[in-house]
A and B are shown apart, each in its own frame.
Chain A
Amino acid sequence: MLLKISWRNIWRNPTRSMVVISAMLVGMFAGVFSSTFINGWMQQRLKDGIETETSHIQIHSPAFKLNDDLKNYIPEANAITADIRKNDQIRGVSPRIVIQSMIASAETATGVKIIGADPMEEKKVTNLPDKLIEGKWFEGVKRNPIIIGHKLADKLKVKMRSKVVLRMQDTEGNITGGAFRVAGIYQTVNSTFDETNVWVCNTDLQQLTLLPDGAAHEITIFINNQDDLASIENQISATHPDLITESWPDLSPELGYLTEIGNTYMYILVIIILLALGFGIVNTMLMVVMERIHELGMLMAVGMSKSRVFLMIIIESTFLSIVGGFAGILLGALTTEYWAVKGIDLSIWGEGLSEWGFATIVYPVYDIPMVVTIAVMVILTGIVASIYPAYKGLKLNPSEAIRVI
C-alpha cells in the first residue's frame, strides 16, 4: 500500500513530476551515451594500438631496452621464435630487425623506425596489411620493397613505386645504405605512427647491416585470447630469464590508462549530472512535504509510524528519480546499440584526432556493469535527495498539522 500511495502521489502534480522525470531522463541519457561513446572510443584505440602497433607481447634484449643500437640484438632470435611458435595459444610470432635511421627521397629526408621482418610472419602479428590504402603487402616490387605510411609519403613527396633511400650504420660501424621502392602505403588511425614507421624485408635489411643469420632485435607475439596474456608472458619470461618479455600494458602504458580514463570520465560525468538533478529532487520533495502538511499530520495522528512516513517520502522520491533515470539509461543504451553498428563519424574533426591515434569513426560500447552501476547511482540519488525533505516531514507536530485555521 505504501508503494501504491507513493506511486500515485507522484501523479498528483503531473506537470511538476514530469519536469523532474524529463530532467532525469535527459541527464541520464546524456550520461550513459557520452560514457559509452568515450568507452567505445577508448576500447577502439586500445584494439588499434594492440593490433596494429604493439601486438600483445614483445621480447628484447636488456641492452636494446637501454639503447636501441643495432648491436644490441638477440643472436638466437630465430631459435626462440621456433620454440614459442609451438604454443597453440599463439597466433603469430615474428622476429624483427629494428633500426632507428634516416629515410630520404629526392625532396627531403627524415628519421624513421625501420622494421625488417618476414612479410608472411609479420602478417600474423599486425593488421597493418589491412591498412594499406595503396599497393599490396610486399607484392609488385621485386627488389627491396618498402611499406610506408601515407603521412610519410606526403612528407617525402613520394608515390607508389617511388624510390627512397635508407641510410644506416652496419654492425662494423660503417655507413651503409640502400635504395628501396615503395610497394605499399598504409594509413592507420594514428598519423604519428604512420609518419615514423616503415616496413622492409628482414633479408634485405640483414644484407645491408651485416647482422648475423637468425638474429633480431625484437620478437613480436600475437596471442589468440587476451585472457591468456599474463600466463603466456610469465611462461616466456621464465624460459628466457636473460631477455626482457613485456606485454602491451608495459610497452604502451598509455593504452592501459585508456580504459581507466574512460571509466573515470563516466563516473565524474554521471556524478555531476546526478548531483545537479539531485538538488532538483530535493526541491521538489520539499514542496511535496510542505503541500501535504495536513495529510502527513493526519497520517501520524491516526497511527502511522514515523519510520513509515519517512519511508513513504523516500519511496516517492526514489520513484521520481528512477522513472526518468531508468528511461534515460534505457534510451542511452538503445542509442548506443544503434550507433554501435553504424558508428559515429567524427571526420570533420578527423585531422586532430588521428594525430593522437584516435579513430574518426566511433562505435560506442557499453558494458552491463557500467549500466548497473549508473542505475544504482540513480536509485541512491532518489534516496539521498529525499532524506532532508523526509526529515522535515517527520518533525511535523500532528496536532499542529491537522489544525484547521
Chain B
Amino acid sequence: MSIISIKDLTKIYNASQVPVHAVNGISLEFERGEFAAIVGPSGSGKTTLLNMLGGLDDPTSGTIVIDNQRLDQLKSSERIKFRLNNIGFIFQAYNLIPVLTARENIEFIMELQKIPKEQREKRSMELLEAVGIPDKANIRPRQLSGGQQQRIAVARALASRPKFILADEPTANLDSKSTGTLLDIMEKLNREEDITFIFSTHDARVVNKARRVITIEDGRVKNDEVRQ
C-alpha cells in the first residue's frame, strides 16, 4: 500500500497571458521508506509538484491521496494540522526561526503538537545528536553555517514524527562538502530509521545518492527509475 498516491496532477498558472502548465499530468506512487529524488532543470515544475504534495498549493486538477486521506477534502485549517502531524518540510532557505536557538527551533514544532516539555527536551537533544551538532543546541541560526542550518532543518522536520519528509532543493545553497554531509545524514536516517525522503535537486552528486530517480521536464515525468 503506497503512502502517497497522485493521479493526473496538473497545475496551470495564469499569471501572464499565456497559461503555464507547471505540472502537466503527473501520476506517481511513493512507498514507505523511499529515498527518492525528483530531478529536472530549473523551471521544470519540481517545486510546484512538491508544494502540491505537501498541501501548500492546490492542483488545478488531479488528486493527491496521503495515507488514505485526500488532500483536497481538507479544509484550510485542517490542512495546516495535517501538515503539522504528517509531513516534514525542508526548504531551500528560510527554514528556521531566527530568534530561536537551534534546539528551540526543533522544540517549537513539537510544542505546536502539544507534546509535553520533558519529551520535547529529550527528543530535541536526540535529534541534534542524530544530525551531528549537539554542541550547537543553544546557538541561533545566524551564527551557524548554511550546512549546519540545513541539518537543524532536517532535525526540525523529523521532530514531529512525520510520515515522510519533503525537501525542495535542500542543498541548493550549500558547498559540496556540506552537501555531502547533509546527504549522508539523510541517507543514514533513511536506512537506519526508515524515514521516507522525497527531495528535488538538479545537482548530479545528490542524484547519485538517490535510490529512485524521477526525472521531470516541462511538468511531465520523463523517466522513473529505481537503482540499487
Contact = CB atoms under 8 A, between A and B. Distances in A.
Nearest to B160: A303
B99 to A, nearest CB: 4
Interface stretch (A20-28, A44-52, A172-180, A292-300): A292-300
Contacts of A399: 51, 56-57
A24 B29 CA distance: 58
Chain A: number of interface residues, binned into ranges? 20 to 34
A12 B83 CA distance: 29
Interface in A236-293: none
A302 B89 contact: yes
A303 B97 contact: no
A403 B99 CA distance: 21
A403 to B, nearest CB: 7
Given A294-B93, A404-B92, A302 B98 contact: no
Interface in B59-112: 76-77, 80-81, 83-85, 89, 91-95, 97-100, 104, 107-109, 111-112
A357 interface: no
A403 B160 CA distance: 23
Contacts of B112: 303-305, 308
A89 interface: no
Given A302-B89, A303-B160, A403-B47, A295 B97 contact: yes
B191 to A, nearest CB: 25
Chain B: number of interface residues, binned into ranges? 20 to 34
Nearest to B111: A1
A8 B101 CA distance: 11
Given A1-B111, A399-B56, A301 B104 contact: no
17 contacts: A1-B104, A1-B111, A4-B104, A5-B97, A5-B99, A295-B94, A297-B94, A298-B91, A298-B95, A303-B83, A305-B77, A305-B81, A306-B76, A399-B51, A399-B56, A404-B91, A404-B93
Given A5-B108, A303-B109, A403-B47, 17 more contacts: A1-B100, A4-B104, A8-B100, A298-B91, A300-B80, A301-B54, A301-B83, A301-B89, A301-B91, A302-B89, A302-B156, A303-B80, A303-B160, A304-B84, A399-B51, A402-B56, A404-B93
